[in-house]
Amino acid sequence: MRAIEQLPPARNRCHFGLRRNQHGFTLVELMVSLVISMLISIAALGSARMFMGAQRQSVGAGTASGNAVTTIAAIKHEAEQAALGFYVNGTLPCQNFNLSVGTKTLAGNTPVMPVNVSSSNGNYAQLDLLYANALESAAPAYLASVTSSDAASATLTSYLPVQPGQTVMLTPLGDVGQPCTVKTASRVDAAQSGMGSIVYFDDTGLHNQVDFSGSTYSTSSAVSLLGALNWSHFAVDSNGNLVMSRPIKGGSAVLARNVVGFQVQYGVTDGVTSSLDSWQYAEGPTWAKLTTGLLPRVRALRLELVIRSDQPEKADAQGNCSTTTALPTLLDRPLALASNWQCYRYRSSTAVIPLRNILMGSNS
């Protein structure tokens, strides 16, 4: 009789079957999977960094472009008003001025032009723009008696619509060697029988606190109403910021950052016709310094602003950049830039601004 084969208990049989059919990963497989996952993560991180860098550069370039456009618009707004109130009866009566703000002297019988460009170096220019806000300045009143630049009052032959706190300008009669004097009206007496208004200049007025002596204005010299005199100065500081400051009102504001170029040219006539003949830098024997004889020839300003992106782009393995391959220019002249200029992006904005007040004033 065949012996009955003895089987292990049921519990052991089940356990033995599970162990024999169980599947999983070996330690080598797990290590390989981990290394592959790390490589994929590193590649994804590198791509993300490259994308973020490119996006940052794109945003930086777009911001630079927007800043250039808005800054040019702000300068254009000031330039369009330049010289308003400075022309009297169709002429620019003075090259020198007596002008103070509080106890500070801005000009003491020294040249002041309503439009003036000065160059500090090849990349940067400085621009000064002056204008009044009273349209009545073109129709002045006249002195009834001799008045000095430090006089406390002026008697006029006719009515001048000046209010206390407004600015007036005393203009010499036919003597271009004498300066114009800017004063603040503190009180106005109405015209009386046989004479015109009397304008008083108390020493508490904005433009009356510095004593300018030595200038005399004869009978029939003009007194024009300026209302309020504004002076805007544009210059690039040592940090590459284009700053607008207000020498009269005080205060300053940064219009643009990362500025690598700001230049201005005069658009001038040939001195014979009224047509714009050429663009001139504020340099050389003729245009480095404006005079009352040259200013009527200036009909427009041409200016350009070049702004650099804030962050440099990454160089290649050899340390070279190719973000920008052509050296940027500034009004057709090459810019002088640092050696790593190719690592940045550049945006520029250019404008031509007609000087309508000079054009109208010199032709009136």
d(CA 57, CA 53): 6
Percent of the chain beyond pLDDT 70? Answer: 83
Per-residue pLDDT for 29 more than 80?
no
pLDDT, average across residues 144-155: 93
- pLDDT of 175 reads 62
Task: Tell me the pLDDT of the chain averaged across its residues.
Answer: 85
Residue 353, beta-bridge partner list: 301
d(CA 152, CA 148): 9
pTM for the full predicted model: 0.81
Domain residue ranges of the chain, discontinuous segments joined by +: 54-87+117-126+232-364, 134-227
Residue 93 · residue 176 · CB < 8 Å:
yes
Cβ–Cβ < 8 Å for 180, 107: no
* Residue pair 85/227 in contact by the 8 Å Cβ criterion: yes
Instruction: Give the β-pairing of 180-184 and 96-101.
Output: parallel
Name the pLDDT band for 214 (thresholds 50, 70, 90). confident
Provide DSSP, 219-243. Answer: TT-EEEEEESEEEEEEEE-TTS-EE
Looking at residue 151, its amino acid is: A
Residues 162 and 145 sit within 8 Å (Cβ to Cβ):
no
Q: Is the pLDDT of residue 88 over 70?
A: yes
What is the spatial distance between Cα 301 and Cα 299, in angstroms, rounded to a whole number? Answer: 7
Amino acid identity, position 176: V
For 200, the enclosing helix (H) or strand (E) is strand 198-200
Over residues 188-213, mean pLDDT? 87
pLDDT band at 19 (very low <50, low <70, confident <90, very high): low
- Whether the Cβ atoms of residue 207 and residue 199 lie closer than 8 Å to each other: no
- Euclidean distance between CA atoms 255 and 242, whole angstroms: 6
The stretch 130-149 carries a mean pLDDT of 87
Distance CA 130, CA 20 (A): 98
Task: Say what percent of the chain tops pLDDT 90.
Answer: 58
Is 134-227 CATH 3.30.70? no
Are the C-beta atoms of residues 357 and 84 closer than 8 Å to each other?
yes
pLDDT digit string, tens, across residues 216-229: 999 999 999 999 99
CB 187 within 8 A of CB 162: no
Question: Which helix (H) or strand (E) covers residue 73, if one does?
Answer: helix 27-79
Q: For 233-271, what is each residue's pLDDT tens digit?
A: 999 999 999 999 999 999 999 999 999 999 999 999 998
DSSP state of 114: S
**Is 249 in contact with 184 (CB distance < 8 Å)?**
no
Residue 190 or residue 39, greater confidence: 190
pLDDT at residue 155, as a whole number: 93
Q: Which residue has the higher pLDDT, 40 or 210?
A: 210
Instruction: Give the pLDDT score at 166.
Output: 95
- Give the C-alpha separation, 103 to 115, whole Å: 25
